[in-house]
Homo-oligomer: A and B are copies of this chain.
Amino acid sequence: MPNISMKLLAKELGLSLSTVSKVFTDSHEISEQTKQKVLAMAKQLNYVPNPYASSLRKRKSKTIAVVLPEVADSFFSVAINGIESIAREKGYHVLIYLTHELFDREQAILADFQSGRVDGVLISVSNGTTNDSHINDMMQRGIPVVFFDRVCEETATTRITTNDRESGRLATQHLLENGCKRIAFLTLSESLSISRNRLDGCRQALAAHRLIFQENDLVLCTDKDADNRDIIKRLLQRKDRPDGIIASVEKLTAGVYLACRDLKMVIPKDVKVISFSNQSTAPILNPSLTTITQPAFEMGKAAAAALFNNLKRNNQQYKPETIVVPSVLVPRESTTGVHQG
């Protein structure tokens, strides 16, 4: 049995195809009476209109794409929830794509969107993204793009970020206030906007305390946990070792804890640790982990909401506005030594 089409529905009702179609677009041309009749029959036959036929004619897909580096990180997991929640509200569908931090894959994914597959794109750029021409191509084709979390700052469109610089500042200040004299900053990338901004904030805070950031305290880690553990161990074995560590991404936390364990160093006595993290296990780590927690769900929602705004006014000119959803610093034992609820 072929899926029932609108044509079939029309024949069943003794109406024309166009009349039935107009019922579904809720056209004023159709009387309330026949609308009811059609809707009733549709429900009875379990009819669902073919979205692709509609997309073809209307040149709208009612679909957005979410392009992410990966979903291993708990930030993106939660962000997806936020995105999905408002997409569903608007009756949109969500396609998901992973770049695995590869620039060429990111380009290939966006290139496919030239086809009209999606009406808009939400993107958190990959680690290796060096330019934004693929993004601009999208927008020139009339497909709005909204950045979230990992943004391209030069690109003229809406950006949703958290207050990365401010958070970096706060994290550093928090360490200093808890007695740290020398702070190391762990990062995965020097090019990513969020990393740069967090580091900038760190530098600012140090400067405010008349300290300057030593360049060898900027530690570039890899995406392999085992390597990071070694890298951090070496950091902690230096004679001028830091007494405070900022892990600028969630996945570096484990390396710090394990390195300390290996070296029999005690957090926070020997070294204090603060991490940019959304992990729900932060309170039950030992010691519990002081975190800068990003508002992942809210950022997801804000990003989707902004995209739908840009979708509505379909001019090609989007204002390069940056919406900032602030992170919160949650102090715990790893910096304060103080145990709390």
Residues in chain A within 8 A of chain B (CB atoms)? 3, 46, 48-53, 55-56, 61, 63, 70-74, 76-78, 80-81, 84-85, 88, 93-98, 111-112, 114-117, 141, 225, 251, 253-254, 257-258, 261, 279-281, 283-287
Q: Return chain B residues, CB-CB under 8 Å to A85.
A: 98
Chain B nearest CB: distance from A229 CB in Å? Answer: 10
Asked whether, in the complex, the Cβ of A286 is within 8 Å of the Cβ of B285, the reply is yes
Q: Return chain B residues, CB-CB under 8 Å to A280.
A: 225, 251, 254
Distance in angstroms between the alpha carbons of A261 and B284 in the assembled complex: 9
Asked whether, in the complex, the Cβ of A96 is within 8 Å of the Cβ of B84, the reply is yes
Quick one: which of B46, B73, B77 contacts A72, CB cutoff 8 A?
A: B77
Asked whether, in the complex, the Cβ of A95 is within 8 Å of the Cβ of B93, the reply is yes
Seed contacts A85-B98, A94-B95, A284-B285; 20 additional CB < 8 Å A-B pairs = A3-B115, A3-B116, A46-B114, A48-B114, A52-B52, A52-B116, A71-B77, A71-B80, A71-B81, A74-B74, A80-B98, A84-B98, A225-B280, A253-B281, A254-B281, A257-B284, A261-B284, A279-B281, A281-B281, A286-B287
Distance in angstroms between the alpha carbons of A180 and B126 in the assembled complex: 48
Q: Return chain B residues, CB-CB under 8 Å to A257.
A: 284
Asked whether, in the complex, the Cβ of A78 is within 8 Å of the Cβ of B84, the reply is no
Chain B nearest CB: distance from A43 CB in Å? Answer: 11
Q: Return chain B residues, CB-CB under 8 Å to A253.
A: 281, 284
Chain B nearest CB: distance from A275 CB in Å? Answer: 11
Asked whether, in the complex, the Cβ of A115 is within 8 Å of the Cβ of B49, the reply is yes
Chain B nearest CB: distance from A120 CB in Å? Answer: 15
Q: Return chain B residues, CB-CB under 8 Å to A55.
A: 52
A-B pairs with beta carbons under 8 Å apart, 7 shown: A3-B115, A48-B115, A71-B71, A84-B97, A93-B117, A258-B284, A284-B286
